[in-house]
A and B are shown apart, each in its own frame.
Chain A
Amino acid sequence: MAFQVLLNFFLAFLWMFLTSSFTLSSFIIGYFLGILVILAMRRFFKDRVYLIRVWAVIKLTILFVIELIKANIEVLVIVLRPKLDLKPGIFKYDTKLEREWEVTLLSLLITLTPGTLVVDVSDDNSTLYIHALNATDIKGTVESIKKGFEKAIMEVSR
């Protein structure tokens, strides 16, 4: 992945030297042509074309922004409600993510989204302890995390 980005930059600079115009626009044109060449030759690389990963990161960001807005509206509704009928609780969540930055990212995303808060991570990074503001539907929460954030993070790091 890093090699592909480096190669793309190299091709962009090569394009600037070939056209002997050292401007930002010729760099961008060269970068774009480099992407096309790399896409055509993608089967030479052992890993995926890095653009797929870039796209996955963009998707994860959009998902995060949407969830963040939803979370804050949900909290607003809870705060403004005259009667508090919350059932808080802590539940376990087994994650399939392995690397440290993946687990960290997942924890941060869970913390910033509707009614959930990561309290602790087990020593082998495989279990998250999550505090839920409303622990009536734990199964649904787990399912939504698994289908949403965990899948999106796996698409980035796969």
Chain B
Amino acid sequence: MKKPNDVILQTVTTVISFIIILFSINLFFAGHYTPGGGFIGGLMTAAALVLLLLAYDVKTLNKVLPFNYQVMTAAGLLIAVLTSAGALLFNEPFLTHAYDYFDLPLLGKTSLHTAVLFDTGVYLVVIGITMTIIQTIGESE
């Protein structure tokens, strides 16, 4: 059977996926004061990747984004554990977070919170696990 021409789907997907990823970054940073956070941000990024998978195929996506999603999951867990364990260095209980206010060049007065690092770990784990599940199912005949 001749493969149908997916040019419209592929062109739209390439542009749309940028918008979805930017929105997921927005959700990721919004977590502290407004709805959002690492989990939903990671899920949204994974959704963008799944959309790319739908428009192209597993091989193309692996070529475009050559990530090993299992390593990504491990890195996320490592980041989360290290941020939690970092509190032990300051004689505080495990998982204690700290924050302070900084004057950053563009953002102005910003409170930087170590919970963001923990959230980064969550973000990576969610992307890694979702993509591992989908790719494992997708690759088996």
Residues of A at under 8 Å CB distance from B?
A: 7, 11, 14-15, 18-19, 25, 28-30, 33-34, 37-38, 40-41, 43-44
Q: Do A37 and B26 touch across chains, with their CB atoms under 8 A apart?
A: no
Distance between B32 CB and nearest chain A CB, rounded to angstroms: 14
- For window 10-42 of chain B, which residues contact chain A by CB distance below 8 Å? 14-15, 17-19, 21-23, 25-26
Q: Which B residues lie within 8 Å of A34 (CB)?
A: 18, 22
Judge whether B108 is part of the interface by a CB distance below 8 angstroms: yes
Are B65's CB and A28's CB within 8 A? no
Chain A residues within 8 Å of B64, by CB: 41, 43-44
Let me know if B18 and A7 touch, CB within 8 A. Answer: yes
Chain B interface helix/strand/loop/mixed? helix
B106 at the interface (CB under 8 A from A): yes
Q: Contact residues of B with A, CB < 8 Å? A: 14-15, 17-19, 21-23, 25-26, 63-65, 106-108
Write out the residue numbers on chain A whose beta carbons fall within 8 Å of the beta carbon of B19.
11, 14
Of A7, A18, A19, A29, chain B has the most CB atoms within 10 Å of the CB of A18
A-B contact pairs, 20 of them (CB 8 A): A7-B15, A7-B18, A11-B18, A11-B22, A14-B19, A14-B22, A18-B22, A18-B23, A19-B26, A28-B106, A29-B106, A33-B25, A34-B18, A37-B18, A37-B21, A38-B18, A41-B18, A41-B21, A41-B64, A43-B63
